[in-house]
Amino acid sequence: MTEQSPSRLPSPRVAASVAPTTNTHLDIAEVTKNFGSQAVLKGVNLSVAKGGTTAIVGPSGSGKTTLLRLIAGFEHPDTGSISLNGNKVAGNGIWVPAHKRHVGYVAQDGALFPHLTVGQNIAFGLDKSALDGGRRAVKTRVQELLDMVSLDADMAKRRPHQLSGGQQQRVALARALAREPQLMLLDEPFSALDAGLRVATRRAVAKVLNEAGVTTILVTHDQAEALSFADQVAIMRGGKLAQIGNPFVVYTRPADRATAEFLGDAVILDAWMEGSLATCSLGGIPVRRPPAQGLVQLMLRPEQIRIAPDGPIRGVVVDTDYFGPETTVRIKLAPRVAAAGASLAYPGGGEIITIRHWNASITKPGTELCLRVVGEGVAFPVED
């Protein structure tokens, strides 16, 4: 598997959003944002359907949190516009302050008030003038919100420091839901939690927001989190959206090599494209809508390369990393050999690739394995 220096990665194209919808909740058009001489956002376009869930994923410094703060109303865009439910809230001389946008915001650390109880934290988000019944109505509503985020009513008396990290994030969500927002913004809310708690909290939060019918935008640098949480994923790189689509499409058919490598492990091989068949060290791999003919770079996901006793591809295990339920296996491919009387359009061989397998006992270093490729590959033009 070849690698490319980050400094040579191509600049992302400006991505179009997924198919336009007549039920758009959020519409971002050509938004830019500079901090001094640094351009942080460079013409971002994004549409989010009402009730939908979008994950904005990208490396640190790509502009994710800045975009979220613009949507919330904490920052002004330099150019472009932001609309909610068809009403412009920022841009072209229009500005609607954050507290009038019906937007909830949950920060990475929850941002709970340490000197207040859980109940007081949640009540802080309530519009008490809209509740009939005084303190009793406030207490009832706090209990309803605690139940909504699957926390016991007796937790209302605790202080934030007496809660686990996952519980604190649920309290922060309950406080944000107290004002019945139409749009919820989540700024890496699970990143400080350990792996097991992160998954459980993410599922609980997703369930609450889905049942409440709240449009949700999650900002994260965790690719797996983005793919599992959202029905639309937007990949941000260098202040632009490189690709937008449903999780399956952006993972299996990434727009460019940099996106492919960011969204998960990728096997990248030089290949020769003729028609819709890419010939490489792994044999002939079908490609849908190849971008070029001749020399290309072919991308496969590690799970597409299977160990098979009758597989036509041979390789020797170089080393492994054991992770319990699966093992990452690095394999050096054998040179390709043409059948008698045949020629190879692109011989290849000798590259080291990485696959994943569940049985560590058959993937010991030095073992020769037979491999088979399943499914289609994705081809990228060779970068100059």
Tens digit of each residue's pLDDT (9 = 90 or more) over 215-256: 999 999 889 899 999 999 999 999 999 999 999 999 999 999
Q: What percent of the chain has pLDDT over 70?
A: 89
Mark which of 216, 235, 257 sits at the end of a domain.
Answer: 257
Domain count, the chain: 2
Over residues 52-61, mean pLDDT? 93
Yes or no: say if 287 and 277 are a contact pair by the CB < 8 Å rule: yes
357 and 316 both lie in a single domain: yes
* CATH assignment at residue 28: 3.40.50.300
> Looking at residue 16, what is its pLDDT?
46
> Looking at residue 244, what is its pLDDT?
96
Residue in 160, 70, 68, 77 with CA at minimum distance from that of residue 106:
68
Residue 336 pLDDT > 80: no
Residue 338 pLDDT > 60: no
Q: Name the least confident of 112-116, 270-274, 333-337.
A: 333-337
Confidence band of 384 (pLDDT split at 50, 70, 90): low
> Looking at residue 14, what is its pLDDT?
45
Domain for residue 2, yes or no?
A: no
- Reported pTM: 0.84
Mark which of 204, 233, 257 sits at the end of a domain.
Answer: 257
**Coil, strand or helix: which one is 218?**
strand
193 and 271 both lie in a single domain: no
> Looking at residue 236, what is its pLDDT?
95
247 and 310 both lie in a single domain: no
275 and 251 both lie in a single domain: no
For 269-303, b/e burial (b = at least 16 CB within 10 A) is bbbbbeeebbbbbbbbbebeebeeeeebbbbbbbe
247 and 272 both lie in a single domain: no
Domain for residue 3, yes or no?
A: no
> Looking at residue 201, what is its pLDDT?
81
Dihedral angle over CA of 338, 339, 340, 343, nearest 10: -40
- Cα separation, 136 vs 337, in Å, equals 80
372 and 249 both lie in a single domain: no
| DSSP state, residue 287 | B
Domain with 306 in it: 265-381
> Looking at residue 179, what is its pLDDT?
85
Q: Angle 92-93-99 (CA atoms, 0-180°, nearest 5)?
A: 110
183 and 276 both lie in a single domain: no
127 and 237 both lie in a single domain: yes
Domain for residue 5, yes or no?
A: no
Over residues 9-36, mean pLDDT? 72
Domain for residue 274, yes or no?
A: yes
> Looking at residue 9, what is its pLDDT?
43
- Cα separation, 251 vs 262, in Å, equals 10
- Mean pLDDT value across the chain: 88
Confidence band of 346 (pLDDT split at 50, 70, 90): low
**Coil, strand or helix: which one is 211?**
helix
Domain for residue 1, yes or no?
A: no
35 and 108 both lie in a single domain: yes
- Cα separation, 17 vs 70, in Å, equals 18
Exposed/middle/buried for residue 135 (C-beta within 10 Å: 0-12, 13-18, 19+):
exposed
- Cα separation, 150 vs 270, in Å, equals 51
281 and 353 both lie in a single domain: yes
Domain for residue 4, yes or no?
A: no
| DSSP state, residue 201 | H
Over residues 112-122, mean pLDDT? 92
Residue 315 pLDDT > 60: yes
Q: For residue range 162-210, what is the model confidence (pLDDT) as tens digits?
A: 998 888 888 988 898 888 899 999 998 888 778 777 888 888 888 888 9
Mark which of 237, 257, 277 sits at the end of a domain.
Answer: 257
87 and 148 both lie in a single domain: yes
> Looking at residue 15, what is its pLDDT?
54
90 and 198 both lie in a single domain: yes
> Looking at residue 130, what is its pLDDT?
67
